[in-house]
């Protein structure tokens, strides 16, 4: 007769994509932090890595039953990997952390202290960002503040996916079926009792960033279009502005005609500028509408957010 499975206090979720240079150091840093905190499990989500990450994760899981590896059938993206980890987590709470060690595992203890004070969400806020270009720091600074203004829910500024979630928050997030996920935005949207801890973000331990500029833009779009209708409202505002401007110009030209001060048309530059201006606004509006339609199309298809090819556990 088998007993009731023991529920771990903490589930640690680690998305991994081509991190062979980091995995050994990651495990070495995690164990001294996790072992004093009580029972735990580590869910390693291999997001279709093409290097030796999968084999290294399998080796870890075979010698330590506290580690589990989920291997995707291909690369589905960081947010899908985080979601898979949340689906697999069985702990009373879960911490999401990247494998690159920019977010310090040593902060997990402080997060759990806040959790024991009955906070349901504990998110980490970056004071400094070592090893990042001025452009990346500047665009990140601007994005968080613009997103906070555009959305109907307050999203903590300078916070990433590094956070602790209580079991009831995990269950709510897991019940959300949407495909184009922006986890840190959904984390803010669900509410509950939330607090923060601050830290200085280190440089990557090794390897290359998995968020180049193109992926950062894609993530920014997911954040804006999944949490806000502001792009559609801006299209309306642009339309009202252009209509008002054309009305004023019509009045101006009518007055010129009445007073006899209507001058000779000297060229077509002003016409071209006006056409390009209106054309640009129309394309922006169509693009915003297209983003929402595309996301609706993804939801209607009901394809899975990720596919697990295999699972490794001792």
CATH code, domain with 125: 3.90.550.10
User: Which residues of the chain fall below pLDDT 70?
Assistant: 1-5, 129-144, 146-151, 202-240, 242-254, 256-257, 260-278, 280-281, 283, 287-288, 290-291, 294-299, 301
Both 83 and 130 in a single domain?
yes
pLDDT at 9: 87
CB 101 within 8 A of CB 205: yes
pLDDT, one tens digit per residue, over 183-202 is 887 888 888 888 888 887 76
**Total-model pTM:** 0.70
Both 65 and 205 in a single domain?
yes
Partner residues linked to 124 by β-bridges: 197
- Determine the Cα–Cα distance for residues 140 and 150; give it in Å rounded to an integer: 15
Both 137 and 108 in a single domain?
yes
pLDDT at 126: 81
Both 46 and 167 in a single domain?
yes
Both 249 and 224 in a single domain?
no
- Residue 256: give the domain boundaries: 230-301
pLDDT at 262: 55
pLDDT at 300: 72
pLDDT at 251: 67
- Determine the Cα–Cα distance for residues 186 and 174; give it in Å rounded to an integer: 11
In the chain, the number of structural domains is 2
pLDDT at 267: 46
pLDDT at 224: 64
Residue 146 maps to a domain: yes
Q: Which residue has the tokens 């915003």?
A: 288
What DSSP string describes the chain? ---PPPPPSEEEEEEESS-TTTHHHHHHHHHHHHGGG-SEEEEEEE-S-SSSHHHHHHHHHHH-TTEEEEEESS---HHHHHHHHHHH--SSEEEE--TTSSS-GGGHHHHHHHHHTT-SEEEEEEEEETT--HHHHHHHHHHHHHHHHHSSS---TTEEEEEEEEHHHHHHHHT---SS--HHHHHHHT-SSEEEEEEEEPPPSSS--S--HHHHHHHHHHHHHHH--HHHHHHHHHHHHHHHHHHHHHHHHHHHHHHT--PPP--SHHHHHHHHHHHHHHHHHHHHHHHHHHHHHHHHHT--S--EEEEE--
Both 209 and 234 in a single domain?
no
Residue 276 maps to a domain: yes
Both 194 and 282 in a single domain?
no
What DSSP string describes 1-15? ---PPPPPSEEEEEE
Residue 144 maps to a domain: yes
């Amino acid at each position: 007769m088998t007993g009731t499975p023991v529920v771990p206090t903490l589930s640690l979720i680690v998305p991994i994509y081509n991190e062979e240079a980091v995995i050994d150091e990651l495990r070495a840093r995690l164990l001294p932090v996790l072992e004093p905190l009580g029972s735990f499990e580590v869910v390693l989500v291999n997001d279709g890595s093409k290097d030796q990450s999968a084999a290294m994760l399998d080796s870890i899981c075979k010698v330590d039953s506290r580690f589990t590896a989920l291997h995707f059938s291909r690369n589905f993206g960081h947010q899908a990997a985080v979601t898979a980890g949340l689906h697999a987590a069985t702990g009373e709470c879960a911490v999401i952390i990247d494998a690159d060690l920019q977010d310090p595992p040593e902060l997990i203890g402080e997060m759990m202290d806040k959790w024991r004070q009955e906070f349901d969400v504990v998110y980490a806020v970056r004071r400094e960002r070592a090893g990042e270009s001025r452009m990346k720091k500047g665009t990140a600074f601007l994005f968080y503040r613009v997103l906070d203004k555009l959305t109907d829910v307050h999203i903590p500024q300078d916070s990433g996916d590094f956070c602790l979630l209580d079991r009831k928050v995990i269950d709510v997030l897991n019940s959300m079926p949407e495909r184009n996920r922006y986890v840190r935005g959904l984390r803010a949207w669900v509410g509950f009792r939330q607090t923060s801890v601050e830290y200085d973000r280190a440089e990557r331990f090794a390897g290359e960033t998995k968020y180049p500029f193109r992926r950062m833009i894609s993530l920014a779009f997911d954040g804006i279009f999944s949490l806000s209708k502001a792009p559609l409202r801006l299209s309306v505002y642009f339309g009202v502005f252009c209509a008002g401007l054309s009305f004023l110009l019509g009045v101006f030209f009518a007055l010129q005609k009445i007073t006899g001060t209507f001058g000779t048309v000297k060229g077509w530059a002003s016409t071209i500028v006006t056409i390009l201006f209106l054309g640009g606004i129309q394309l922006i509006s169509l693009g915003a509408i297209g983003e929402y339609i595309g996301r609706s199309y993804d939801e209607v298809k009901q394809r899975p957010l990720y596919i697990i090819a295999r699972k490794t556990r001792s």
